Every structure is written in C-alpha cells, then in structure tokens.
Structure 1
Amino acid sequence: MSILILSEQDLRQAITLDAQSIACIEQAIESLATKAVVMPPILSMEIPDFNGEVDVKTAYVPGLDSFAIKISPGFFDNPKLGLPSLNGLMVLLSAKTGIVEAVLLDNGYLTDLRTAAAGAVAAKALSRKDAKVATIYGTGLQARLQLEALCHVRSITSARIWGRSPDKAETMAAELSHKLRIDIQAFESGKEAARGADILVTTTPTQSPILMAEWLAPGQHVTAMGSDADYKNEIDPAIIGKANLYVADRLTQTRKLGELRTAIATGIVSDAAAFPELGDIITGACPGRKTEADISVCDLTGMGVQDTAIATLARQRAIAQKAGAQF
C-alpha cells in the first residue's frame, strides 16, 4: 500500500490563499456547529530554553474520508538564525481504517494558510460589511497573510501596519502596497494605528497586550489570533469587557489558551460566562453584530478541524495536478 508524499513545493503549487481555501475553512468551522465533529484538546508543549513550543492538533469530521494529525512547532527566536518561526507537517489517515494515506511536508505552510483563512472567515462573519480600513499588529508572515485574506472578504482600500520594529513595518507596508494595490502605511504608534480602522487584527506571539481597550471606538471589529498558549496575551483583557460581542473559535480552547483566559484571570468576565462560537454565528444559530456601532471581538486559537479540512483540500488539488511521490 502506497503513501503519497507531498513536499512544501508541491503544496505551494497545489493550494494558495484564495476564495476556495477560505470557503474550505468556513465550512470546517461551520461543521463544528452542525456535525458530530470529534476534536480532542490540543496537545501543547512549551520549550522555554529556546523560546519554542510544539502543538499537536487533529479532528475527525463526519463526511470526510480522511482526518489529519498536525505537528506544529513554533520557535520564535528562529529568525535570528535565518530560519522561519513555524515548521511542521501533517499526516492524513483514512477515517475508515486508520491507515496512513499521505504525508504533507508543508513546513508550516498549510497552517499559515488555514490561519489566514480563519481570519477572513471571522471578518466576514463579524465586521461591518462596509469595512474598508484594516490595521494589522505584527510584521511576520501571518500579518501579511491576514491582510491578504481580508481583501478576499471585504473591500479594503487602505491599511495600517504596526510592529515593534518600525523598519520591518515600513518594509511590509511597501511590499504589500505594491502587491495588493492599496494604500498601506506603517505607524509607530499602536494607538494611532487603531484610530479610524474598521478591522484590527493582532498577529503576534507577545505575552503582554499590544492593543488597548481605550483605543477602540464603536463599529470596530477585532480579530485576535496570536494567543494560542496559556502564556500569551495580545489584547488588553478589558477589551472583552468593553465589546458588545465576543466570539470564540472554540470556547473550551479560548478559556484555556486564548484572550478569554486572561479576561477570566483578571476578573473581567466569569469563568462560567457563556459566549457564542464562530460556527454558531456562521450558521445563524446565534446573532452576530446587532448594530453598526457594536464592537466585536473574535478570539482565534486554531483548531484541528481546520487542519483536517485544509489537508484534505490540499491533497485533492495535488492529486489533480499529479504532484508528489508515492512511497
């Protein structure tokens, strides 16, 4: 019995951040609200000596013939060594027999893709339909992809970039202005970058807030996607108390790993407080923003169901292109 081996190059040629990949992730998130998805808690291990962590995620989705198991290391000092922060691979197994069907040596590419797509899904579901101005906090690869993803679901006409390194922010702004053909400016002040934005996205591994509650104004939407471990915190916990609508990707995860964890720890909200999940908003089981003046927050921690979905789509496209090698 053969196993399909797909390299990062194979996968980059097979799948990109486009309307279909975003729809794939939207359907995966929706399935959490409509199907008996089996998604165990994230297995997470911190490696503090080297500013690293490793997450293992998986999910079985009824109706899909395969499920993925993803191993995702993140070592955040790697750029100092000329290496990417994220790495890893996914393994696709038969949902009927458990036999390995494919190994996707993506080096984190598919994780980057599905994370950006999830940001687009959150913005589509929760931001104002007339949103045109985006602010991105962070200057890494995911920061770039989040802005690109937003342009697929909203008519973004201008953007602001804030990063701890002004030089990196300037470089990112210049490169994305050329690529996306919109006006993008780098800001040295995070507060000023927030002023007048319709959508704000935080994309960093920081352990202390970079977005403050007093900076927010009515009508804004915040997607916080950098906190996926119990020691990370990107947004002021008071933001969750201030928001008219807080939405989790998976409430059991955001209570332990996301921005909700910090809001609970500081007494902003109760540990027993009930909040909708993104799948509930997508299906209409729970209402989204009620007025144009609402402040909404989506807390994304990353889910195994997204990995199964993107891995399945990637393999389908690769097979159609006759890519990869049989082992």
Structure 2
Amino acid sequence: MTTIPVIALETIQASLTEADILDAVKGALMAQARGDVNSPPPGMLQLDNPDGECHIKYGHLKGSDTFVIKIACGFYENPKMGLSASSGMMVVFDAKTGVPVCILDDKGWLTNARTAAAGALAAQAGAPPSVDRVGIIGTGEQAALQAKWTCKLLGIKSVTVYGRTASHVKDYVERMAQDGFSVTIAPDIATLMKSCNLVITTTPSNAALIMADDVRPGTHIVAMGTDNPGKQELDAALFPR
C-alpha cells in the first residue's frame, strides 16, 4: 500500500511568503470571477457543546492537474485551553485519477493566511482615497491577521478595535503592540464607525453589529466573519446604500 506524503506545517511556512499568498489569492479570485473555478458550496458541521464548527471546502482550477479538499475547524473555546481557535488540513488529489497526492498538515495556517489575504485585498480594492487607520471589530486570530495584512498593504500602522470582552481587548492591544501597531480601543461600535472609514469585521455573530445609521458615506466595510448561513455582522439596511 502506498503511503500518502504528509507535508508538515513547518515545511509549508518555509515555502511561502506573504507576497506568494497574496498573489495566489488574487489570482484565485480573478479566476473565480472569470468562471474558471469549480467550487461547490461548502459543507458545514455545527457543534454546540463546546461551540465549534467544521467547514469542508473544495475547489478545482480548470486545467489544473490537481484539486483540493479542505477541512477547517473553528472551536471558539480553545484559547481558554491554550489552543488555537482554528485548525485543519488539506488533501490534494490528482485531477485525472482522483488518487490522493499528499496531505497538507497546515493546522489551519493556510486557511488563516488565505482569509487574511482575501480581506486585505478586498480592503485595498475598495479603500477610500485617504485612510489613516483600520477599524477592527473582533479580537481573535483573524482580527489580528486582518489588521496586520491590511495595514501592510496600505502602508499604515494604526488600528481602532472594538471587542465585547475587556480582557480579550487588552490581550489584542498587547499582541498588536508587539508588532509595532498603535491601537485605540473604541467603547462601542458606533464610536468606532465615527473614527474609521475602513472597517473589517471578524466575528461569528448571528445578529447585526454595524447598524446602517452609524455608517458614514464613503465608508468601506469588509465583513469577513459571515461565512455561512445564520451569521450576520451587517444591518440589512446597509445593502440598498
């Protein structure tokens, strides 16, 4: 029996730069827009105790020799146990035979980097002409990655953050400060929206967080957390605008 090669996280990280990931994600988004990607709707397994979810996603770029199935998990109580909230792996298959080629044991790192890159590219594409800070709603892993990748693309170092839990906000500010970012804490989302014209949401919320009346004209919002039915971060009244 043939053993399927397993590519370790360390090997994956050593093989990719942020520029590589940004280029790959940008290329994938453009291919998707052209209709060159076969990517069915994702599967999602919701777990209630503890709060967790497992996403199964798949894709094939037309003409590619391989296709990929990804398993990505998010368990939101993990940080209390010193574990990452996200984990997962990817399986690469031969597109002509369906035979597994290798397993990418990325432990969720590729998913996190992909998501950060997609958010940063979306922020860059729609950013107002003058942006001096990024507003971040949420304090988890993606809240930090979205801020870092977006700020790097835009050439800024200032962030305003809102989070529901004071201890999580404090930890977020400390983590970002270690990487040289200046972080201002907003007491509520309405206040954050008054000071930021580029805002990224990174929560698993199932109810609107940003209300239409709080959004100034010209504000660009990247809603990254709403990734499956039942989640909501934006007031529905925003969409007609």
> TM-score, with normalisation over the residues of structure 2?
0.91
Q: Which amino acid aligns with 1:117?
A: A
Aligned pairs (5 A) from 1:65-214: 65-179=65-179, 181-214=180-213
SS in 2 for 1:145: helix
Of the structure 1 ranges 155-164 and 112-121, higher mean CA displacement relative to structure 2 is found in 155-164
For residues 117 and 95 of structure 1, the distance between their equivalents in structure 2, rounded to whole angstroms, comes to 26
Deviations 1:32-52 (A, max 9, x none): 122432111111121223322
Aligned equivalent of 1:38: 38
In structure 1, list runs of 5 or more residues that go unmatched. 243-327
For residues 178 and 84 of structure 1, the distance between their equivalents in structure 2, rounded to whole angstroms, comes to 19
Cα distance, 1:149–1:229 mapped onto 2, change above 3 Å: same
Q: Where does structure 1 differ by over 3 angstroms across 4 or more consecutive aligned residues?
A: none
Aligned equivalent of 1:7: 8
Q: Which amino acid aligns with 2:10?
A: Q
Aligned equivalent of 2:216: 217
Q: Which amino acid aligns with 2:64?
A: L
Q: Which amino acid aligns with 1:211?
A: I
Q: Would you say how many aligned residue pairs link Structure 1 and Structure 2?
A: 240
For residues 194 and 168 of structure 1, the distance between their equivalents in structure 2, rounded to whole angstroms, comes to 20
Cα RMSD over matched residues?
A: 1.8
For residues 213 and 156 of structure 1, the distance between their equivalents in structure 2, rounded to whole angstroms, comes to 27
Q: Offset at 1:58?
A: 0.5
For residues 190 and 203 of structure 1, the distance between their equivalents in structure 2, rounded to whole angstroms, comes to 13
SS in 2 for 1:87: strand
> TM-score, with normalisation over the residues of structure 1?
0.69
Note if contact 2:90-2:103 (Cα within 8 Å) is conserved in structure 1.
yes
Q: Offset at 1:162?
A: 0.9
For residues 58 and 223 of structure 1, the distance between their equivalents in structure 2, rounded to whole angstroms, comes to 23
Aligned pairs (5 A) from 1:207-286: 207-242=206-241
Cα distance, 1:171–1:66 mapped onto 2, change above 3 Å: same
Cα distance, 1:168–1:21 mapped onto 2, change above 3 Å: same
In structure 2, list runs of 5 or more residues that go unmatched. none
Q: Offset at 1:157?
A: 4.0
Note if contact 2:197-2:216 (Cα within 8 Å) is conserved in structure 1.
no
Q: Which amino acid aligns with 1:174?
A: E
Note if contact 2:134-2:151 (Cα within 8 Å) is conserved in structure 1.
no
Aligned equivalent of 1:318: none
Aligned equivalent of 2:60: 60
Aligned equivalent of 2:27: 27
Note if contact 1:4-1:101 (Cα within 8 Å) is conserved in structure 2.
yes
For residues 47 and 157 of structure 1, the distance between their equivalents in structure 2, rounded to whole angstroms, comes to 37
Q: Which amino acid aligns with 1:125?
A: A
Note if contact 2:67-2:94 (Cα within 8 Å) is conserved in structure 1.
yes
Aligned equivalent of 1:269: none
Q: Which amino acid aligns with 1:14?
A: S
For residues 156 and 211 of structure 1, the distance between their equivalents in structure 2, rounded to whole angstroms, comes to 24
Cα distance, 1:64–1:132 mapped onto 2, change above 3 Å: farther
For residues 14 and 89 of structure 2, the distance between their equivalents in structure 1, rounded to whole angstroms, comes to 17
For residues 63 and 177 of structure 1, the distance between their equivalents in structure 2, rounded to whole angstroms, comes to 44
SS in 2 for 1:208: strand
- Higher RCO (C-alpha 8 Å, min separation 6): 1
Deviations 1:58-95 (A, max 9, x none): 11102332211001122222223332222111001122
